Structure 1
Amino acid sequence: MKIKPLICKITGLTLALASLFVSATPDTSSKDNKAAEKLYVEHCQSCHGVGRLGAMGPALFPENLSRLRKNKAVKVIKNGRPATQMPAFDKILNQTEIASLIDYIYTPAKELPKWTLADIRATNIQHFEQSKLPNKPQFDADLMNLFIVVELGDHSATLLNGDTFEPITRFKTRFALHGGPKYSPDGRFVYFASRDGWISKYDIYNMKIVSEVRAGINTRNLAVSSDGKYAIVGNYLPHNVVILDTKDLSPIEMIETKSSEGVSSRVSAVYNAPPRHSFIVALKDVKEVWEIPYSDKGGVDVYKGWAHDYRKDGGEGKVENWKSEDRFPVRRIQTQDYLDDFFFDPEYINLIGTARNSHNGQVINFDTKKKVATIELTGMPHLGSGITWDYQGKEVFASPNIKEGKITVIEMENWQVIKEIKTDGPGFFMRSHSKSPYAWADVFFGPNKEKVHIIKKDTLEIVKTIAPAPGKTAAHVEFTKDGKYVLLSIWDNDGAVIVYDANTLEEVKRLPMKKPSGKYNVYNKINYERGTSH
């Protein structure tokens, strides 16, 4: 395969983006609107993107703000938004300027921004011809005990040796990575998604980014199939999922995320469900969850007994206008409420989601497509960061809470809350390892952000609280593949990754880094270790 010069690819990208920006241009005919646009460029564009298309922050169009009333939007601009990077502007902008900005972002574009398969293809960059790169690692290390450390401070990532805790290499990434990198099944490649839709494929063996593509305008995250053939990208804007060929990140299919009644929806997140050989799609604006099998046989050769859903004469849940050549049919699962923030049991039979209106947790069985339980949950549990372990002979699920200072422990046989562990404030991440007696939980939000709680899994009690960097946020731990060491991040531009002995809980080493947001161990991720997020 001949690789085209990079300048040609970039030229095509420039043309595609230029057409996108034109189509997304708001009506700026009035002087007031032009003044508001100037305010936007000065104060908002660095996070929310050129033309309001989104970058680190979300795209700002009425369609993206449908659940945020204008009076609440005023408060967000004035006071900022807790648990996000949205700052307060009450001392920078006056009341008239804030009102002007509100009118501007709630003004529809002349034409909604579009990002077609042709647009995606025009952005595809092949930096290196993969077949010509060495098929073995160009360094000496245990490949299963490597970490990718994402450093948001200067948009870089570090490839870290999990045995020596020495960096192997450090490389630049796209702006504002989001959703956590995902590995190929053999651990050779890692895929990144940025807020503004860029997907990058990094060859760990050769320490090079080999392929890139822009799959959306405002992207939530990506997932990689268990066979390593496909990646799925979930987007806030446009409202769709995009399926890529992992060989070169070329787009295969774009599926608009509309309900069975035709209501368009943003995508909250996408997941891989290994035992089911399918992708799961969480929808933010409609009461549906999607399951998309990635079998090459169009859904006939899929998990367990629901293959009949994809035949023309199938029963409940059949795909309309299904054809045998369809590669990625959609199986719709109706829900009783809008579901936010998902967790799956280890067998991927049940989905646990936070019900937005009912203010509880709901358990949905994938096979029956029915709600099988309601969990009494308050505050804002961060289910996506939950973990499981065995407690008194039964499997339990534990979740931190973004709004309340507690960790909720749920028994997974009858879906009952068995304990709420009081913490020093709301938390974001929780991690453990099947070989460790401890679970680690941060206190990400509030005045105690420097603290991390260590919980004994067999007693459900906090046995130690550490504050390794006073005044700086301590968050997100990840274990080595054998569970013997724990890596903790100090979320600061003058930050660090701190290594602890997972048994003695003593500090072993401190590596300076620039706002290391997350650390991702190859073995734990590709084996879906119970103590880490999936």
Structure 2
Amino acid sequence: MPISASLKTLFAAAGLALLTATPAVAETSGDDAPVLRGTGDLGVVIERATGSVALVDTTEKSVLEHVDGFGDLSHASVKFSRDARHAFVFGRDGGLTRLDLLTGEIDGRIIQSGNSIGGAISQDGRYVAVGNYEPGGVKVFDAETLELVADVPADYETDEGETAQAKVVGVVDAPGNRFVFSLFEANQIWVLDMSGDEPEVTKYRDIGSQPYDALITANGRYYIAGLFGEDGMALLDLWHPEKGVQRILPDYGRGEERLPVYKMPHLEGWAMAGDQAFFPAVGRHEVLVADTDDWSLTDRIEVQGQPIFVMSRPDERQVWVTFAHPDNDAVQVIDSRTHEVIETLSPGDSVLHKEFTPRGEHIWISARDSDTVTVYDTRTFEKLATLEAESPSGVFFTYRAHRIGL
């Protein structure tokens, strides 16, 4: 039956009301009409000194609002809900805080442990998993209500035969509503399956000494943990879990002529470019390159310091590298084809993090001690904008909502 003109008007008005009821940070246009905004070009910047985040617009290259109330953000990470409406902030104080990106308001916060290191959101968006340092283990919460769904202690047996809890690191989401994570003291990798009526845990033991961080490849197949206690890495093929955990890249790690390690590199930002993987060398002034077919080491690229984040531009033509102290005032760019350093930039003092816009035309780089976030054109390396932020660290954009492992 045809819809009458009056009903069409009513439906249109109702739809507009839904869109404007919670405008992004209550912004208005020149005629005082609410500004309509999607979440696709939004993001957050962690302001570690003040326990706040800056809500940013990546298209306008602007800060929309500074939001307080996130607790201890001296080490923090962010994941986004399936609809990219909410940012879940994991804080050092064990806080799990949900931020509504459209209203600019916190709409949920719990203290779920003594010290947390990060987390992940399940494939279907229903669950938020948090990895904990104190007391250890993983807790899983309902993404809508923040109610506890599962509590998985990271129990293991010490050399003395006692039961202890390990620090949990490298929590990632995997296809099939699974979470994968590593146990630092226990030298194990666990897979937590949340697809059934009850959580199921599969444990892989003796995977290598002291896994300190991990990543999952963009297709969700390989989970790779870095090992601090020995050279090499541990790889779990989630397509063929019956193979168990394999050791790869025996030349990776602290090395024979290692330098003092001022800051451990982060593996989540590994650069994948075609059949190559670029990753930071612990205790070396090198970016290492591996063949992703057999995970053999193929090249070592000399850089100016100890790399922390090694990230590829979305088109995989460039690899951008940040460094540990005392070389953390610069960013270097590597050509992924020639393996040559083609640019060195100076965004500010104590560069901590960087994030590409979804298609890679721009990159945002935080400089903690300069209280700035600088936006560059990734083709020309031109500085496009400098934004003020309070001791900024992590930069996270909402496109991550639709990427495995991010």
TM range (shorter): 0.7 to 0.9
- CA offset at residue 266 of structure 1? 2.2
User: Which of residues 212, 219, 225 in structure 1 aligns to 2:116?
Assistant: 219
**Contact persistence 2:180–2:191 (CA under 8 A):** yes
* Equivalent in the alignment of 2:265: 382
Query: Is 1:517 matched up with 2:400?
Result: no
* Equivalent in the alignment of 1:148: 44
**Contact persistence 2:156–2:166 (CA under 8 A):** no
* Equivalent in the alignment of 1:290: 190
CA distance in 1, matches of 2:185, 2:70: 28
- CA offset at residue 248 of structure 1? 1.9
Cα–Cα, structure 1 residues 369 and 236, in superposed 2: closer, same or farther, change >3 Å? farther
CA distance in 1, matches of 2:291, 2:42: 33
Structure 1, residues 116-170: CA drift from partner, whole Å, max 9, x if none? xxxxxxxxxxxxxxx9x94775643342121111111322111111111112221
Query: Is 1:487 matched up with 2:383?
Result: no
**Contact persistence 1:223–1:270 (CA under 8 A):** no
**Contact persistence 1:452–1:467 (CA under 8 A):** yes
CA distance in 2, matches of 1:201, 1:189: 6
Structure 1, residues 495-525: CA drift from partner, whole Å, max 9, x if none? 21111111111111111222110111101x1
* Equivalent in the alignment of 2:242: 368
Query: Is 1:334 matched up with 2:205?
Result: yes
**Contact persistence 1:184–1:190 (CA under 8 A):** yes
User: Which of residues 304, 309, 312 in structure 2 aligns to 1:429?
Assistant: 309
**Contact persistence 1:179–1:222 (CA under 8 A):** no
- CA offset at residue 292 of structure 1? 0.8
* Equivalent in the alignment of 1:453: 332
The amino acid of 1:413's aligned partner reads D
The structure with higher relative contact order (CA 8 Å, sep 6+) is 2
The secondary structure found in structure 2 opposite 1:354 is strand
The amino acid of 1:389's aligned partner reads M
- CA offset at residue 370 of structure 1? 1.6
Query: Is 1:236 matched up with 2:96?
Result: no
The amino acid of 1:271's aligned partner reads V
Structure 1, residues 234-264: CA drift from partner, whole Å, max 9, x if none? 1122232211111121212222211388732
User: Which of residues 417, 442, 462 in structure 1 aligns to 2:341?
Assistant: 462
The amino acid of 1:377's aligned partner reads Y
Structure 1, residues 415-474: CA drift from partner, whole Å, max 9, x if none? 11111111111121222332252221112322x2211101111211100111233xx122
The secondary structure found in structure 2 opposite 1:526 is helix
Query: Is 1:273 matched up with 2:173?
Result: yes
Structure 1, residues 347-383: CA drift from partner, whole Å, max 9, x if none? 3322222234432223232322523342121327735
Between Structure 1 and Structure 2, the one with more helix by share is 1
The secondary structure found in structure 1 opposite 2:200 is coil
Cα–Cα, structure 1 residues 402 and 513, in superposed 2: closer, same or farther, change >3 Å? farther
CA distance in 1, matches of 2:271, 2:310: 10
CA distance in 1, matches of 2:316, 2:220: 23
Cα–Cα, structure 1 residues 369 and 202, in superposed 2: closer, same or farther, change >3 Å? farther
The secondary structure found in structure 1 opposite 2:253 is coil
The secondary structure found in structure 2 opposite 1:368 is helix
CA distance in 2, matches of 1:436, 1:374: 23
**Contact persistence 1:190–1:203 (CA under 8 A):** yes
The amino acid of 1:409's aligned partner reads V
Cα–Cα, structure 1 residues 477 and 499, in superposed 2: closer, same or farther, change >3 Å? same
CA distance in 2, matches of 1:251, 1:272: 18
CA distance in 2, matches of 1:210, 1:194: 16
Larger displacement relative to structure 2 (327-336 or 507-516): 327-336
The amino acid of 2:237's aligned partner reads N
* Equivalent in the alignment of 2:11: none
Between Structure 1 and Structure 2, the one with more strand by share is 2
Query: Is 1:171 matched up with 2:67?
Result: yes
CA distance in 1, matches of 2:106, 2:207: 43
The secondary structure found in structure 1 opposite 2:267 is helix
**Contact persistence 1:360–1:374 (CA under 8 A):** yes
**Contact persistence 2:355–2:395 (CA under 8 A):** yes
The secondary structure found in structure 2 opposite 1:330 is strand
Q: What aligned pairs does 1:62-461 form with structure 2 within 5 A after superposition? A: 134=21, 139-177=35-73, 178-259=75-156, 263-295=163-195, 297-298=196-197, 327-338=198-209, 339-366=211-238, 367-375=241-249, 376-379=251-254, 382=265, 384-391=267-274, 395-435=275-315, 437-446=317-326, 448-461=327-340
The amino acid of 1:506's aligned partner reads E
- CA offset at residue 405 of structure 1? 1.2
Structure 1, residues 313-372: CA drift from partner, whole Å, max 9, x if none? xxxxxxxxxxxxxx2111112234232221222233222222344322232323225233
* Equivalent in the alignment of 1:39: none
* Equivalent in the alignment of 2:377: 501
* Equivalent in the alignment of 2:3: none
CA distance in 2, matches of 1:355, 1:148: 30
* Equivalent in the alignment of 2:402: 527
After TM superposition, the runs of 4+ consecutive aligned structure 1 residues lying more than 6 A away are: none
* Equivalent in the alignment of 1:31: none
TM-score, reference length from structure 2: 0.83
TM-score, reference length from structure 1: 0.64
The secondary structure found in structure 1 opposite 2:40 is helix
CA distance in 2, matches of 1:159, 1:233: 23
